[in-house]
Structure 1
Amino acid sequence: MTLGPLIHPVTVLEQCHVSPSPAPAAGQPRSLPLTFFDLVFLDFPPVQRLFFYDNADLRDAHDFLLRELPLFRESLAAALHHFYPLAGTLPCGIRERASPPEVAYSDGDSVRLTVAVSSDEFQDLAGDHPRDTARLRPLLPPLPKHGSSQDVVAVQVTVFPRAGICVGTTLHHAVADGSSYVHFLKTWAAIHRLGDERRKAVVVDHTPPLFDRGVVQDSDGLREAFIRDHRDLVESGDKRLDDWDLSRRPDTVLATFRFTDELLRKLGRHVEAETSARCSPYALACGAAWAGIVRARGVGGGDVARFGFVTGCKPRVSPPIPSSYFGNCLGLCFVEAKRRHLTAASASVAIWRVIAGLAEQGRALRGARGWVRGAREYAAARAVTVAGSPKLGVYAAADLGATWGGRPRKVEIASVERTGALALAESGRRGDRDGGGIEVGVALPRAEMEAFRAFHVELVRLLDATSGDAASPLPRV
């Protein structure tokens, strides 16, 4: 009999509700209609991140409650003053005769903050090696529901005595994309760093979020089309998004693979010699990971391998959307390649060609009418997708100050076990920060993870061995 992972349940010490402080001005809008960009992600699982901070000086949970929690709670309240819709609620899905969905905020609304303590091994949980995802779930807060509505975001702080602190956030994807989330995170962290005496001061260089939905042009009626698609899918009982979900498997693990700048340069030279294509580091890291996962899964899955990623649409639409806009503003991009010919090089080129095509005016929204249904088709095909981006700078954004050790030692997008996505971020390892690179988080069943790890090791070995012979073949699926 195969034993499951050893789970260390957390002990909840305190739960409180944090409201924006001060309350938003009376003239601020209390409801934000979901745009067509938001509606793409209405039924997606929430985005869940974990931030691990070293803190060996923290004696016990009582020490945290006494010294750190008051400032943490008050800085969150101050950040929510600027981002008050995050304290609001959202309908649970779309019903046939319900009004179009919107984020609604009422005075007194709040974000639930949970404080807990864990006996699990902090250093192990914050590592790169494969860890059972079941061990990470107790660190993640659920989104509270209230009848037919649900909260937008929830926060949990878990204390590991004499080791560190983990901050977990759960965010409904229909409310904000990664850029808007990091905007909030940077504001919160900046306020927290001001300390007790200055936490209510105006944040230096703070750019307030823009909530005006009028900046999103929808001349093609995509919002109404997406609402109809969601209602039809609910009526038909469509559950294809669940085909990505590995959370029900007891053997799912999460690991991080690092693509250093040096490794990406070697891979780029090889790809250019083989195909004449000069791929971006993003395309190279994604292509290598895509090929590795396809090989790890083995036979089956048809002749076509599928990959999906998102592109930021703020500068790509006409007129452009201001960078401070708060909400989703992502376009879906679909990539297909022959499975039997897929290598790290060919996969990278396939992704890069789609990225290069986005430079064409209007290309980002071409085919947008099929996004809602297309995402479900890709889920049914178990396509590899992407969450996060190295451009977001999440490690720097989450710097809570000296008492927390500055930047987190590790950031995980734990929700990738439910979305089939690669978790991308800039390299956050202390020795890599100046040298760059991309870290890729992968959630797979343990046997597939071992096969993926072997693919990554072989790729690194071949690139090291053939740095003077760039045309040598790379591992094939």
Structure 2
Amino acid sequence: MAPGPLTLAVTVLEQYHVSPTPAPAPGQLRSLPLTFFDLVFWDFPPVQRLFFYASADLSDVPDFLHSKLPLLNESLAAALHHFYPLAGRLPCRIQECASPEVVYSDGDSVRLTVAVSRDDFQDLAGDHPRDTARLRPLLPPLAKHGGCHRPSQDVLAVQVTVFPGAGVCVGTTLHHAVADGSSYVHFLKTWAAIHRLGDECREAVVVGYTPPLFDRGVLRDDTALRESFIHDHRHLVESGDRRLDEWDVSRRPDTVLATFRFTDELLRRLGRHVESDTSARCSPYALVCGAAWAGIVRARCVGGGGDADDDGDNARFGFVTGCKPRMSPPIPSSYFGNCLGLCFVEADRRCLTAASASAAIWLVIAGLAEQGRALRDARGWVRGAREYAAARAVTVAGSPKLGVYAAADFGAAWGGQPRKVEIVSVERTGALALAESGGRNGDGGIEVGLALPRLQMEAFRAFHAELVGLLHANDVATPLLREPKS
């Protein structure tokens, strides 16, 4: 059994301030106004990821500090040269901003913390439920500046934690209003490539490199959504709205994080069952989300905590859709910032099964093909997110399309791709953490990270095991795990 969190220690060894190197050219933009896409996520918790690298070459602390850390530091500085807004700052309070923006000033930097941990690396990097209190010390906070007068905050922080004799964990904390998953992975992929190829091949990275696009002029806002969202946020602050906190289970002492894998074969079986039951030919994304949604609704009933849904009998689900190709004109894929639309799904909680939940999600996804549909209800996004938080809706973080495992390959000395990637911040947002499977068995598919109170997690694990058993038994006549009546 792994030791409890109170017996473990993470000791900070060094803190560095890594500035873009070389510094941005004098003519480059120093401030990026937040767009309406960015403002949707203004007061969401930051996105926090952990990358676990198992490698004997990274296990000795003095050697890591002497031979590995300098290259990591240098490659981060080189990547920030291209993504310099990540070294900038955001205002802490929107009510004091005439126009919220990310501002980079010469000398700004990203804080890089280097630490050592005595915890069990293999256990932390597993799929089984782990106490989230053990994972939080591996994550860096976003520093604040300026005291009480117009305070600002960093937008990115990095922490590298060495586990002697086992490996290394890289933790990142990113303000969600600055970048979505696509822009984050663009940065990560660039940083890892520079580190992997080293100084002698750095030019090769630049030659085949697509730089980030910071030009806000490519994004049209014909209906003044930006001004509307700023007004909504200021009104919510003045009214003391705290509904986003309803998602947060991090304050509960029994919260655990676990990973559930849906292999390609399991998804094929699930897809056949859903089509047989509902006539819907769902994407793998819809299938995984539907199964997880139904499982969480059941777990809340069986494991305690209720569904706390405003409508009583309605279960709610929210996800995001990439809007770059859906805008008119389309936005280049290299655009840096947020470009995600919010999508809302509701279904009868009493009749929710993996099949019906998948079909309901797929119906909304299919409807996005309609011209302009992604932005049709955009004016209600800021307030709608809070309504869904108050109803403790299940939402989604990450995407298997991002390819975080491949993007985070820092080279052979790090053991190649990470052994495990976690989005630990889902404990504060109530979201499913989706990624392409980093499955070590080569089974492909999608992995789902989930943070729940321990009793609910046990109920969800039972649901997942039963679902897998039914699908492998080819029992298509059995409804896929309707929630027990309460």
TM over 0.5: yes
Deviations 1:153-180 (A, max 9, x none): 0000000011000000000000000000
Deviations 1:23-67 (A, max 9, x none): 111111000000000000000000000000011233421111011
Q: Which of 268, 271, 275 does residue 265 from structure 1 map onto?
A: 268
- 1:354 and 2:369 correspond: no
Q: What is the distance in 1 between the residues matched to 2:173 and 2:21?
A: 21
Q: What is the distance in 1 between the residues matched to 2:54 and 2:5?
A: 24
- 1:231 and 2:234 correspond: yes
Partner of 1:142: 141
Q: Is the 8 A contact 2:431 2:450 kept in 1?
A: yes
1:116-155 alignment runs, 5 A limit: 116-147=115-146, 148-155=151-158
C-alpha distance 151-470 of structure 1, shift in aligned 2 (>3 A): same
The one-letter amino acid paired with 1:103 is V
1:390-405 alignment runs, 5 A limit: 390-405=400-415
Deviations 1:201-255 (A, max 9, x none): 6434210000000111000000000000000000000000011011111000000
Q: Which of 457, 472, 479 does residue 473 from structure 1 map onto?
A: 479
Partner of 2:171: 168
Q: Is the 8 A contact 1:190 1:203 kept in 2?
A: no
Identity %: 82
Partner of 2:383: 373
Q: Is the 8 A contact 1:117 1:158 kept in 2?
A: yes
1:55-204 alignment runs, 5 A limit: 55-95=55-95, 98-147=97-146, 148-199=151-202, 202-204=205-207
1:297-336 alignment runs, 5 A limit: 297-298=300-301, 299-301=306-308, 302-336=312-346
Partner of 1:343: 353
1:41 aligned counterpart, secondary structure: coil
Q: What is the distance in 2 between the residues matched to 1:323 and 1:230?
A: 28
Deviations 1:396-416 (A, max 9, x none): 000000000000000000000
Q: Is the 8 A contact 1:42 1:93 kept in 2?
A: no
Q: Which runs of 5+ in 2 are unaligned?
A: none
Q: What is the distance in 2 between the residues matched to 1:143 and 1:442?
A: 23
Q: What is the distance in 1 between the residues matched to 2:59 and 2:296?
A: 42
The one-letter amino acid paired with 1:139 is L
Partner of 1:363: 373
Deviations 1:82-130 (A, max 9, x none): 00000000001311x5311000001111000000000000000000000
Partner of 2:423: 413
The one-letter amino acid paired with 1:118 is S
The one-letter amino acid paired with 2:53 is Y
Q: TM-score under structure 2 normalisation?
A: 0.95
Deviations 1:64-84 (A, max 9, x none): 101100000000000000000
Q: What is the distance in 2 between the residues matched to 1:290 and 1:31?
A: 40
Q: What is the distance in 2 between the residues matched to 1:103 and 1:26?
A: 17
Q: What is the distance in 2 between the residues matched to 1:112 and 1:415?
A: 19
Q: What is the distance in 2 between the residues matched to 1:57 and 1:41?
A: 39
Q: What is the distance in 2 between the residues matched to 1:82 and 1:300?
A: 45
Q: Is the 8 A contact 1:384 1:420 kept in 2?
A: yes
The one-letter amino acid paired with 1:127 is G
Q: Which runs of 5+ in 1 are unaligned?
A: none
Q: What is the distance in 1 between the residues matched to 2:104 and 2:70?
A: 25
- 1:422 and 2:432 correspond: yes
C-alpha distance 297-82 of structure 1, shift in aligned 2 (>3 A): same
Deviations 1:270-311 (A, max 9, x none): 010111110000000000000000000015532100000000
The one-letter amino acid paired with 2:135 is L
Report how many aligned residue pairs link the two structures. Answer: 470
The one-letter amino acid paired with 2:450 is V
